[in-house]
Structure 1
Amino acid sequence: MSVDILVIEDESSLVRLLSTALTAQGYVVTTAMSGNEALARVAVDDPALILLDLGLPDIDGLQLLPRLKERCAAQVIVVSARSREEEKIAALDAGAEDYLTKPFGVAELLARLRVAQRRRLESTPISQQYSVAELFIDLAQRQVTLAGVPVRLTPKEFQMLAILAQSAGRVVTHAQLLQAVWGRHHGDDTHYLRIYLRQLRQKIEANPSEPRYLLTELGVGYRLAAE
């Protein structure tokens, strides 16, 4: 049996709320209220998406996350009351596709789920193209256009944008970007990211102070808009 979403949450009232809201949107939902139950469920249900609470009664969500990723190909969105930057970064580095802090609105959750679904159904290899609104990125040809007009980028600017494009809709952490663009010895050089993101926004955004495409996840990393 295949289901759309596995909700891993030990707060029964929230489980009921999520199940009702997601079912009303046409999702097939199953639930687990502990880490061990979740591990058993993924083997049976093969979910496409997982909503994972970190504060489970038997296994901490950060420890459970890589075990889930080993057992299924689901996109994992962490939904947690933990709001510390370190927790968010740890979850994303452990394989989560997104992180949503409680309390959250159902509309925002549904938007995040739509992005996760697209990522699962339409993988983005390096040879593919990326587009949203007036922004078009051809990763294979190393070309970027805005409203049909070529955007001239430096090699480092394009490399940073390409990494964000390959994870469109998902947060890329500071550490991931620094390692991919500048190498593993530059893990603390976050000022590089600020400089290059500012340059990219000047070239791509109509209003760099209110970006539409290149979004900041405060204290965690950056995300390229997917819609």
Structure 2
Amino acid sequence: MPSSSPNGTISERPALARGAGQHVLVVAGEPDLAELLSTTLELAGYRISLADTGTEAVLRAGRHRYDLVVLDATLPDVPSLGRVRRPPAAHRPPVLFLTEYDSLNRLLPELGLGEKDYVTKPFRVAEVLARMQVLLRGPHPGPRRDAALAYGDLALDDARCQARRGGRALDLTPAEYRLLRHLLVNSHRVLSKEQIGRYVWGDFRGGNAIEQLVSRLRRKVDQEEPALIHTRRGFGYWLGRADVEA
């Protein structure tokens, strides 16, 4: 539906990402949150099942094949889920965490789940839908997700959501990790701010949000020589050695 911008012009509101009947397990203990998510996702075209504890979710995931799990990581029993006995299952659904934590690699790495992503509470519905769509598309082009992705002495381990440069571990936030992975998969290719914003957050963010994110990541990655993250003024950002730029 068209909306009016502050300067009085009419602009088209971007369409929300939609599902195609995929079966999603929503795990939320708060009734209001469970109702919001289930109603919104059903309207967006998903089939929804509900669980109100992390333990119930793990058991359900062992008995049924879900396409995606949306999990409120602030549930009180979530920290102990690694000790829950689960029936053996070959299928590991991707998981979208709704969380207040600041680091994705602290979110249940011992569960051995599939793809993982993160949305900060309080969240916007548009961002939840966009991140769900990214997870449901499956692994991005490039190396297997259980393999390390590397460029020179920079390496990402997607199975553990960890990054290293040489012998130094990089302490990255989820947004920084997603940005670094996107740059790494597309090494020597300039990515625009719009491409970066849509991959990292599910939508384009104006202002200086992307510049600040790139600056924080650059300070963590480029403490050693050679510098790997570069700006192409007026176009975007790219990763690689400047002396071998394609």
Same fold (TM over 0.5): yes
Provide the C-alpha distance between the structure 1 equivalents of 2:108 and 2:227, rounded to a whole number of angstroms. Answer: 23
Kept in 2, the 8 Å contact 1:8–1:35? The answer is yes
Aligned length: 164
The runs of 4+ residues in structure 1 deviating greater than 3 Å are 65-72, 92-96, 122-125, 188-192, 194-199
Hey, what's the Cα distance between the residues in 1 that align with 2:54 and 2:75?
Answer: 7
Higher helix share: 1
> Is 1:27 aligned with 2:46?
yes
Which of the numbers 82, 101, 111 marks the counterpart of 2:120?
101
Q: Amino acid of the residue matched to residue 163 of structure 2?
A: L
1:198–1:27 distance in 2 versus 1, CA, 3 Å: farther
Residue in structure 1 matched with residue 178 of structure 2 by the alignment: none
Corresponding position: 1:64 with 2:81 = yes
Partner amino acid for 1:9?
A
- Relative to structure 1, the CA distance from residue 203 to residue 51 in structure 2 (aligned partners, 3 Å threshold; closer, same or farther) is same
User: Residues 201, 63 of structure 1: CA spacing in aligned structure 2 closer, same or farther, 3 A cutoff?
Assistant: farther
Preserved CA contact (<8 Å) 2:98 2:118: yes
Gaps of 5+ in 2: 1-20, 173-218, 240-246
**Is 2:203 the partner of 1:187?**
no
Amino acid in structure 1 at the alignment position of 2:57: A
Would the alpha carbon gap of residues 75 and 187 (structure 1) be closer, same or farther in structure 2, given more than 3 Å must change?
same
1:177 corresponds to which residue?
A: 163
The residue type paired with residue 202 of structure 1 is T
1:55 is matched with which residue? 74
Task: Give 1:199 deviation, angstroms.
Answer: 3.2
User: Counterpart amino acid of 2:221?
Assistant: L
| Gap change, CA 1:3 and 1:207, over 3 Å in 2 | closer
1:6–1:31 CA contact under 8 A, matched in 2: yes
Aligned in 2, Cα 1:104/1:37: closer, same or farther, shift over 3 Å? same
Structure 1 gap segments, 5+ residues each: 128-138, 143-153, 215-227
Residues 49 and 117, structure 1, Cα contact 8 Å, conserved in 2 = yes
The whole-number CA distance in structure 2 between the counterparts of 1:47 and 1:195 is 42
The amino acid across from 1:199 in the alignment is L
- Structure 2 residue aligned with 1:202, among 220, 226, 231? 231
User: What amino acid does structure 2 have at the position aligned with 1:126?
Assistant: P
Distance 2:72 2:98 in 1: 5
* % identical equivalent positions: 26
Give how far 1:53 is off.
1.2
TM-score by length of 1: 0.56
For the aligned residues, what is the CA RMSD? 4.1
